């Protein structure tokens, strides 16, 4: 099987790494890729949002892709999947119309309302006056979301009214909604528009600094499984959120085929959807795929060719996985780039395969050195016997990496690991509620 992956972040590196380990994959290409992806796939220069260019690349004799996996949201919203399907190329990723589930918060709210999916009460605002009325109606903490794509930075959650108003005025259209109190869960599902196959849940950390302090980011770390979660959590999310959403989009004539991501809060009133994404989320992907034992290529190809119902139940490792993101100096405000990343060879060791680096914002300079090229530079993912074991391995490996001025959170999965240990649990207790982190 020959596969072309579109994108160049840690999510795409995680996808490429998993695909490269699949014996059914005979050739793996990625565009535009990054310094780490280049070690497991052949990289190509292409504008990932240019559907015609991506389709042309997929059809070149060098690539000749059996199917294409689109990683980031921008190409999906731009209609790259449509361009590929129009040329007869199988693709894992929704159409531009279905990808509006992520591309427009207002559209997502409308779909959820029609499907009866539980979510936060909200108002769509297009004027400062409407925004002020909505902020006054909901009160603090204020939740203000840019209606369009914002690379994970379009959401402001604050108790400061002026900060909330300023963000609303900076956006052409915003969704202002009630604050959802409770632990958050990320759940991915692979779907071909009819069949829905949930993966294992994860939890990510959006705030820049320890203790959930600082501004929202694209994600500073994640872990899976969730030892504090109810045993039937995935089943409940599938029944009340994922299937109704997929059914509603199919009813509208815009079936969703690809990866449906649900970000949820477990509130005192029950599950509520915070947001949908139309692709794998970063950094949860790194942790979830580290535990997946079913060959990834077969799963994604089945969704791309509408044969997902034929896929056997997914197989998962009993071990836990923890991902910690290393960010550049001054991220997320004004990240510095061009700094040399050292110590990568010290992490990639044959005697310690359970910990590895996934590149995000990296490239090679004129001297062949790996240098930072974005805000979130890389992530370290590790697996281990329970969250404590995975955390220990992840942070030990991270300690070997040197990047001037970089920062990372030191508390990824810490509370969940403590809860797991207090309950006497380990990998076998994944999914059993103890206490919320």
One-letter-per-residue 3-state SS of the chain: CEEEEEECCHHHHHHHHHHHCCCCCCEEEEEECCCCHHHCCEECCCCCCCHHHHHHHHHCCCCCCCEEEECCHHHHHCCHHHHHHHCCCEEECCCCCCCHHHHCHHHHHHHHHHHCCCECCEEEECCHHHHHHHHHHHCCCEEEEECCCCCCCCEEEECCHHHHHHHHHHCCCEEEECCCCCCEEEEEEEECCCCEEECCCEEECCEEEHHHEEEECCCCEEEECCCCCCCCHHHHHHHHHHHHHHHHHHHCCCCCCEEEEEEEEEECCEEEEEEEECCCCCCHHHHHHHHECCCHHHHHHHHHCCCHHHCCCCCECCCEEEEEEEECCCCCCCCCCCCECECHHHHCCCCCCCEEEEECCEEECCCCCEEECCCEEEEEEEEECHHHHHHHHHHHHHCCCECCCCECCCCCCHHHHHHHHHCCCCHHHCCCCCCCC
pLDDT of residue 432: 31
Banded model confidence at residue 421, pLDDT cuts 50, 70, 90:
confident
Q: Among 144-153, 219-228, 297-306, where is mean pLDDT lowest?
A: 144-153
| pLDDT per position as a tens digit, 144-181 | 999 887 655 688 889 999 999 999 999 989 999 999 99
Mean of the per-residue pLDDT values of the chain: 93
pLDDT of residue 363: 96
| pLDDT per position as a tens digit, 371-406 | 999 999 999 999 999 999 999 999 999 999 999 999
Banded model confidence at residue 207, pLDDT cuts 50, 70, 90:
very high
* Percent above pLDDT 90 for the chain: 91
Q: How far apart are CA 289 and CA 305, in angstroms?
A: 21
Banded model confidence at residue 425, pLDDT cuts 50, 70, 90:
low
Nearest to 406 by CA among 360, 348, 366, 354: 360
pLDDT of residue 350: 59
């Amino acid at each position: 099987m020959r596969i072309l992956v579109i994108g160049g972040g840690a999510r795409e590196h995680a996808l490429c790494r998993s695909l490269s380990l699949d014996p059914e994959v005979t050739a793996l290409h990625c565009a535009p890729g990054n310094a780490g992806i280049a070690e497991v796939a052949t990289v190509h220069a292409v504008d990932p949002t240019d559907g015609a260019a991506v389709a042309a690349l997929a059809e070149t004799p060098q690539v000749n892709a059996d199917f294409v996996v689109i990683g980031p949201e921008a190409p999906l919203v731009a209609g790259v999947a449509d361009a590929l399907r129009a040329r007869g190329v199988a693709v894992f990723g929704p159409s531009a119309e279905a990808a509006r589930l992520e591309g427009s918060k207002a559209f997502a709210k409308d779909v959820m309302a029609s499907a009866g999916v539980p979510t936060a009460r909200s108002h769509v605002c297009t004027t400062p006056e409407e925004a002020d009325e909505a902020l006054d109606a909901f009160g603090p903490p204020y939740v203000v979301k840019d209606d369009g794509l914002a690379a994970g930075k379009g959401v402001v959650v604050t108790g400061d009214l002026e900060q909330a108003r300023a963000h609303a005025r900076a956006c052409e259209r915003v969704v202002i909604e009630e604050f959802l109190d409770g632990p958050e869960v990320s759940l991915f599902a692979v779907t071909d528009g009819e069949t829905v196959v949930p993966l294992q849940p994860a939890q990510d950390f959006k705030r820049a600094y320890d203790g959930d302090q600082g501004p929202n980011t694209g994600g500073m770390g994640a872990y899976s499984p969730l030892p504090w979660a109810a045993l039937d959590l995935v089943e409940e999310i599938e029944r009340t959120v994922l299937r109704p959403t997929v059914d509603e989009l199919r009813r509208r004539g815009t079936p969703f085929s690809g990866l449906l991501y649900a970000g949820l809060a477990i509130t005192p009133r029950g599950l509520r959807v915070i947001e949908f994404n139309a692709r794998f989320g970063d950094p949860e992907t790194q942790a979830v795929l580290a535990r997946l034992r079913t060959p990834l290529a077969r799963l994604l190809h089945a969704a791309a060719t509408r044969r997902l119902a034929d896929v056997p139940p997914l197989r998962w490792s009993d071990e836990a996985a923890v991902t910690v993101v290393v960010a550049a100096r001054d991220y997320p405000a004004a990240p510095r780039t061009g700094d040399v990343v050292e110590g990568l060879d010290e992490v990639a060791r044959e005697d310690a395969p359970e910990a590895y680096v996934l590149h995000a914002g990296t490239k090679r300079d004129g001297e062949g050195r790996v240098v930072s090229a974005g805000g979130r530079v890389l992530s370290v993912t590790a697996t281990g016997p329970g969250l404590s074991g995975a955390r220990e391995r992840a942070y030990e490996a991270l300690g070997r990496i040197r990047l001037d001025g970089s920062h990372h959170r030191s508390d990824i999965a810490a509370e969940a690991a403590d809860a797991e240990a207090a309950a006497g649990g380990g990998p076998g207790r994944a999914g059993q509620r103890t206490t919320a982190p």
